[in-house]
Amino acid sequence: MGIFKIEGGHQLKGSIQPQGAKNEALQILCAVLLTPDKVTIKNIPDIVDVNKLIDLLGNLGVKIEKLSEATYTFQADEVNLKYLESAAFKEDGRGLRGSIMIVGPLLARFGKGYIPKPGGDKIGRRRLDTHFEGFINLGAKFRYNREEYFYGVEADTLKGAYMLLDEASVTGTANIVMAAVLAEGTTTIYNAACEPYLQQLCKMLNRMGAKISGIGSNLLTIEGVKALTGTEHTMLPDMIEIGSWIGLAAMTKSELTIKNVSWDDLGQIPNVFRKLGISVEKQGDDIYIPAHTNGYEIQSYIDGSILTVADAPWPGFTPDLLSIVLVVATQARGSVLVHQKMFESRLFFVDKLIDMGAKIILCDPHRATIIGHDFKSQLKATTMTSPDIRAGISLLIAALSAKGTSTIHNIEQIDRGYEHIVTRLQAIGAKIERLD
Ligand SMILES: CC(=O)N[C@H]1[C@@H](OP(=O)(O)OP(=O)(O)OC[C@H]2O[C@@H](n3ccc(=O)[nH]c3=O)[C@H](O)[C@@H]2O)O[C@H](CO)[C@@H](O)[C@@H]1O
Ligand SMILES: C=C(OP(=O)(O)O)C(=O)O
């Protein structure tokens, strides 16, 4: 297992280009299964989860051509459904969360879709009911092998239906939309997730010939069509990476420009960091973070009560940035309550930050109160293990701000979602090495 060695306490400087969005890429790559035509996808991030999904598509018989560093073409004209019954598929499918989204397209186009319980972060229960209830609503038969945690849906034809999702699941909505585009008749999905990546997926599907309206809202209407054609698609920059770099700049008191962030798609993200006292300046489509030489001060509410940062389905604040907010707060002036509503095991990494000297009270599995040091006391370097992708990057940011040399184990978690992280951080002056 890989290790990062980090010498902390250095100011960084320069500009950083965000990678293409991981969670968008996972949806978009699955959508190539919906057509026998060629689909060209640009700005694909070179990260472990995405590469695993590309391999899985290859094993399904999709023809894949790498045109340049981040551009690929995919053609699913001869899909090998036998692979879905193989032991190799059980292994590959388990490797990441995003693989769940092959089910909708396979069901729609070939009448069957299977998946072993998918992987991804171990951050609490991650149920799949919304996905399968959606497929059942479209007329699919559901099978579940409890011993092997193997899910399956089958249908000769899918029929459009009205459905009210039990929760606004991101991958669930993407999966149901991809099934409904080829169903007979009209599907209406209420309480649909509507984050920018889903909007991107719906726009791509419309370019392929689908008829989806309500994009960007929680009410999607999909008129089924007989077939979809090829298209070209470019991934948005990764907003979670962008938020991570805002946190990195503040914690290390560094001046950083984050390039081409697609401001209009960032939702609450800039404002949440501003509430922590961080200056997030818009320069064209870039974010400029000046060096916070005098620290940053958490704002309180108008009535003087303590700030709470909580997650909510889009356009609420994404749960994937709460670990970063939490680490940034450890050096702020003031206090904040971080409330992780969606996941029940995502805050346990605060133990490591407490070991490093941070003042945090874990109130319960969902809530932590952070009392910032205002840089009067630097975090201490330590040895730690990355439990999940966002805790991992948060610990990495803590290590870069800490005094001395830290080591982070299990960095595969970070590699799941952050492209060429060592070289990109080195380029802005970070002292980080990978020890394999
Ligand atoms: C590959 C991918 O795209 N992963 C993202 C996707 O995961 P994923 O699609 O798996 O997450 P879901 O949106 O299904 O739900 C995440 C968790 O939040 C809970 N929940 C969800 C919706 C809701 O209205 N209320 C609620 O409590 C669910 O029970 C679940 O435990 O969306 C999550 C929520 O933004 C992100 O953390 C993940 O990075
Ligand atoms: C939870 C995340 O990813 P996944 O859903 O792939 O586990 C994340 O990206 O923060």
Report the CATH number at residue 202.
3.65.10.10
CB–CB of 277/299 below 8 Å?
A: yes
Q: Are residues 27 and 92 in the same domain?
A: yes
Q: Are residues 9 and 112 in the same domain?
A: no
Q: Are residues 229 and 299 in the same domain?
A: no
Q: Are residues 52 and 15 in the same domain?
A: no
Q: Tens digit of pLDDT for each residue in 44-80?
A: 999 999 999 999 999 999 999 999 999 999 999 999 9
Average pLDDT over residues 165-180: 98
Q: Is 23 annotated as belonging to a binding site?
A: yes
Residue type, 336: V
Q: Tens digit of pLDDT for each residue in 388-409?
A: 999 999 999 999 999 999 999 9
| Residue range(s) defining the domain that contains residue 149 | 22-234
Nearest atom (ligand 2) to Cα of 119: 7
Residue type, 88: A
CB–CB of 315/194 below 8 Å?
A: yes
Task: Give the closest ligand to the alpha carbon of residue 343.
Answer: 1
User: What are 298's two structure tokens?
Assistant: 């958490």
The CA 320 to ligand 2 mean position distance, Å, reads 7
> Is pLDDT above 80 for 121?
no
Q: Are residues 128 and 141 in the same domain?
A: yes
Q: Are residues 223 and 249 in the same domain?
A: no
Ligand 2 touching residue 194 (CB < 6 A): no
> At which of 234, 260, 281 does a domain end?
234
> Is pLDDT above 80 for 120?
no
State the pLDDT at residue 148. Answer: 84
| Number of Cβ atoms within 10 Å of the Cβ of 246 | 27
Sheet bearing 405-409, strands edge to edge: 383-385, 405-409, 3-7, 431-435
Q: Are residues 179 and 49 in the same domain?
A: yes
Task: Give the closest ligand to the alpha carbon of residue 130.
Answer: 1
Q: Are residues 264 and 167 in the same domain?
A: no
Residue 362, φ and ψ in degrees, nearest 5: -85, 105
Q: Is 342 annotated as belonging to a binding site?
A: yes
The CA 193 to ligand 1 mean position distance, Å, reads 9
> At which of 190, 216, 234 does a domain end?
234
Nearest atom (ligand 2) to Cα of 171: 5
Q: Give the 3-state secondary structure of the chain.
A: CCEEEEECCCCCEEEECCCECHHHHHHHHHHHHHCCCEEEEECCCCCHHHHHHHHHHHHCCCEEEEEECCEEEEECCCCCHHHHHCHHHHHHHHCCCHHHHHHHHHHHHHCEEEEECCCCCCCCCCCCHHHHHHHHHCCCEEEEECCCCEEEEECCCCECCEEECCCCCHHHHHHHHHHHCCCECEEEEECCCCCHHHHHHHHHHHHCCCEEECCCCCEEEEECCCCCCCCEEECCECHHHHHHHHHHHHHCCCEEEECCCCHHHCCCHHHHHHHCCCCCEEECCEEEECCCCCCCECCCCCCCCCEEEECCCCCCCCHHHHHHHHHHHCCCECEEEEECCCCCCCCCCHHHHHHCCCEEEEEECCEEEEECCCCCCCCECCEEECCCHHHHHHHHHHHHHCECEEEEECCHHHHCCCCCHHHHHHHCCCEEEEEC
State the pLDDT at residue 86. Answer: 93
Q: Which residues make Cβ contacts (< 8 Å) with residue 21, sequence separation at least 6?
A: 45, 197, 235, 236, 237, 238, 239, 240, 241
Which residue numbers are catalytic? Answer: 121
Q: Are residues 244 and 359 in the same domain?
A: yes
Q: How confident is the model at residue 271 (pLDDT cuts 50, 70, 90)?
A: very high
> At which of 187, 211, 234 does a domain end?
234
Q: Are residues 290 and 356 in the same domain?
A: yes
Cα gap 210→72, rounded to integer Å = 22
User: What are 162's two structure tokens?
Assistant: 């009205």
State the pLDDT at residue 239. Answer: 98
> Is pLDDT above 90 for 126?
no
Ligand 2 touching residue 93 (CB < 6 A): no
Q: Are residues 153 and 297 in the same domain?
A: no
Nearest atom (ligand 2) to Cα of 123: 1
The CA 48 to ligand 1 mean position distance, Å, reads 20
Q: Classify the C-alpha dihedral 248-250-253-258 as positive or negative.
A: positive
Q: Which residues make Cβ contacts (< 8 Å) with residue 27, sequence separation at least 6?
A: 98, 101, 171, 174, 197, 198, 200, 201
CB–CB of 47/420 below 8 Å?
A: no
State the pLDDT at residue 369. Answer: 98
Q: Which residue has the tokens 């670990």?
A: 323
State the pLDDT at residue 125. Answer: 81
Q: Are residues 241 and 359 in the same domain?
A: yes
Q: Is 46 annotated as belonging to a binding site?
A: no
| Domain total in the chain | 2
Model ipTM?
0.98
Sheet bearing 112-116, strands edge to edge: 112-116, 150-154, 141-145
Q: How confident is the model at residue 124 (pLDDT cuts 50, 70, 90)?
A: confident
